[in-house]
Amino acid sequence: MTGPDHTVIQLTDTHLSGGGDLMHGMMDTTRNLRKVLDHLDAWEGSVDAIIVSGDLADAGSPEAYRTLRTMLEPTAARLGATLCYAMGNHDDRAGFRIGLDLSRNGSTDLGAPYDAVHHIGGLRIVVLDSTTPGRHDGSLEDVQLDWLAKVLEDRAPRGTLLVMHHPPVRSPVATVDFLRLTDPSALESVIAGSDVRMILCGHAHYTGASAISGIPVWIGPPLSYRTDPVPPQGRHRAGVGFGFSRIDLFGESAVATSVDVVGVEDVYSEPQSVALERLWSLTPNAN
């Protein structure tokens, strides 16, 4: 049994504050991130990249970005993972670049969209900045789409993951639908027929999946709080809950898995080798 060609961890909507303030007066987002990193530190898997897909800071504080970087870098180093950051509507472009020391990637103009490309063992990760300063909905400028088309002209040996904060798809939650990426058809015209295996997004504060131009769109679970997609009639509601995503590439297939962190209680826990041996004994001639 062979494992995936590549494994990527997606974190999104961390919403860290510069001074450790509680989000909405109750959510300790720094603690949430610490729990996720502890979860990853206990794992012995191979990880190619850790992607943080927007709303890294709740109010764009440079201190929040420095805190994020300080927390993530030891885990990334232990896993041998490349850190890939994307802008979200709560982020500040200048604070984002300065706090994360990203002057080496993308434009040196602190106020420009932050678009970047990472090459990792044949896998290409393309980050698009879908934000517009002062707005919470998403958009992509023509120059960004032209840049993306140029990047995708040459196919990567193991395909491309496209990362952007705003989902380019409709939402059943009215507030999220109002703030989605505008004019997704322009993006579709660029990525149709390309080697993009999956589009990784955040923003919605719930876990979801869709597709455009035959390409899967994954909306990762947030690290801050969850929007309720089935609230009481006429209500807009969010609750406690957070997690992260594991993205695996097997050949030309991409598999997204949501990992909940809050309220995890073992039903069973045993060595994987024991579980596999039992399954093999029950499944003759299995690969």
Given a cut of 70, is residue 225 above it in pLDDT? yes
**Residue pLDDT, tens place only, 25-64:** 767 899 999 999 999 999 988 999 999 999 999 988 899 9
231 lies in a domain?
yes
Tally of domains in the chain? 1
Is pLDDT larger for residue 53 or for residue 280? 53
If you average pLDDT over residues 219-242, what whole number do you get? Answer: 90
The residue range of the domain holding 92 is 6-282
User: How does 12-44 read in b/e, with b if 16+ C-beta sit within 10 Å?
Assistant: bbbbbbbeebebeeebebbebbebbbeebeeee
Query: Which residue's entry shows tokens 């041998």?
Result: 80
Identify the band that residue 73 occupies on the pLDDT scale cut at 50, 70 and 90: very high
1 lies in a domain?
no
Closest CA to 20 of 10, 28, 11, 8: 28
Closest CA to 40 of 13, 67, 79, 3: 79
251 lies in a domain?
yes
Distance CA 76, CA 86 (A): 16
If you average pLDDT over residues 107-135, what whole number do you get? Answer: 93
Two tokens at 138?
């998403």
pLDDT value at position 21?
73
pLDDT value at position 66?
95
47 lies in a domain?
yes
287 lies in a domain?
no
121 lies in a domain?
yes
Mean pLDDT, rounded, of the chain: 91
161 lies in a domain?
yes
Given a cut of 90, is residue 151 above it in pLDDT? yes
Cut 0.85: pTM above it:
yes
Query: Which residue's entry shows tokens 């409709």?
Result: 170
196 lies in a domain?
yes
If you average pLDDT over residues 106-123, what whole number do you get? Answer: 88
CATH of the domain at 242: 3.60.21.10
If you average pLDDT over residues 192-213, what whole number do you get? Answer: 98
Closest CA to 58 of 26, 21, 112, 83: 21
